[in-house]
Amino acid sequence: RGWIPLREVAYLEETRGYTQIHRAQQRRALTVFGDIDDAVTTAGDVVDKVKREYIPQVLSDHPQLHIEFLGSQEDQAKSFSSLRLAFPVALLIIYMMLAGLFRSYIQPIVVMTAIPFGVQGAIIGHWLTGNPMTILSMIGLVALTGIVVNDSLVLVDFINKRIREGQSPFQASVEGATLRLRPILLTTLTTAAGLAPMMFEKSFQAKFLIPMAVTLTWGLVFATVLTLLIVPVINLIFFDLLNIWNRLWGVAPPENEAPTETVVSLPS
C-alpha cells in the first residue's frame, strides 16, 4: 500500500470544464448571453435571425434540447401579452362612451372606423422610416386609438346637429366635411408638428422613443385624411340602412334623423 503517480494508472488531458453545472427541472441548463449594439441592429432582429437560421439546425442535430429566449426578449413578449388585453379594453371603453354620447349602438362603430386607418398609417410609417415595431410602438397604438377618434367624433357630431336642424343626411355630410375640414386639419398638423422633432431625433437617449413618435405621427395623419373622405360616406350608409329598417318595420325615424321640421302658427 503505497503512493503511485496518477499518470502511471490514468491518461491525463487538460480541457475546459464547467465551474458550475446549472439545472432546470432536473435537466442541465446553459445560458448564452449577448449584448446588442442599438446603432447596428435590434434585439428582435437578432432573435428572428437566430430562430430562422440557427435554431432549426441545432434542434435537428440535438432533438433533446429545449431552447428559450429570456432577457429583453422575454420582457417584450410579456409586454405584448399584456397589450393584447389592454387594446380590446381600450376599444370597449371608447365604444361605451360613444354609445352614451350618441344614444346609439351602431353610430359609435362609424366613429371608430378611423381606428383601422390609424393602425394602417402607423405600419406604413414604420416601413417607410425603417424603424422596427417595438413595445413602445404598441403602446403608441393604444394611445392612437383615443386620438384618431376625436376627428371622426367632431365630424359625425356636427353632421348629426345639421340633420336635427332639418338638413338631409347627404347635405349635412357634405357641409360637415367642408366646414370641419379646417379645424380637423389644424388639430392634426399641430399635433404632428409637435411630435416631428422627436421622430427625427438622432441622440441615443431619445432612440427608444422614436417608434412611439412614428406611430402617433403617421397614424394620426393617415387617419385624418381617410376620416375626412370615408367617415361621411360610412355615416351616409348608416342612415340609409336605418331608413330601410324603419320602412320595413314601420318605425318612426329617430330625432337626429328627422328630415324636416314643421312649424304650426295658431291664429291669435
C-alpha–C-alpha distance, residues 230 and 150, integer Å: 15
C-alpha–C-alpha distance, residues 30 and 58, integer Å: 14
DSSP assigned state of 106: S
| CATH number of the domain within which 219 lies | 1.20.1640.10
Looking at the structure of the chain, the number of domains it has is 1
Q: Specify if 139 maps to a domain.
A: yes
pLDDT (tens place) for every residue of the chain, 268 residues total: 678 888 788 888 888 877 778 887 778 887 777 777 766 777 777 878 888 888 888 888 888 888 877 766 667 777 777 777 888 888 899 899 989 888 888 888 988 988 998 999 999 998 888 887 888 888 888 888 888 888 888 888 888 898 888 888 888 888 888 888 888 888 888 988 888 888 887 777 777 788 888 999 999 999 988 888 888 888 888 888 888 877 887 665 555 444 444 343 434 4
Sequence-ordered list of residues with C-beta below 8 angstroms from that of 22, at least 6 positions apart, any chain = 28, 29, 30, 31
Side-chain half-sphere exposure of 118, counting CA atoms within 13 A: 26
The residue count of the chain comes to 268
* Amino acid code (one letter) for 225: V
Structural domain of residue 232, as residue ranges? 85-251
C-alpha–C-alpha distance, residues 194 and 225, integer Å: 18
Q: Specify if 11 maps to a domain.
A: no
C-alpha–C-alpha distance, residues 217 and 212, integer Å: 9
C-alpha–C-alpha distance, residues 24 and 27, integer Å: 5
- Look at the pTM and tell me if it is higher than 0.85: no
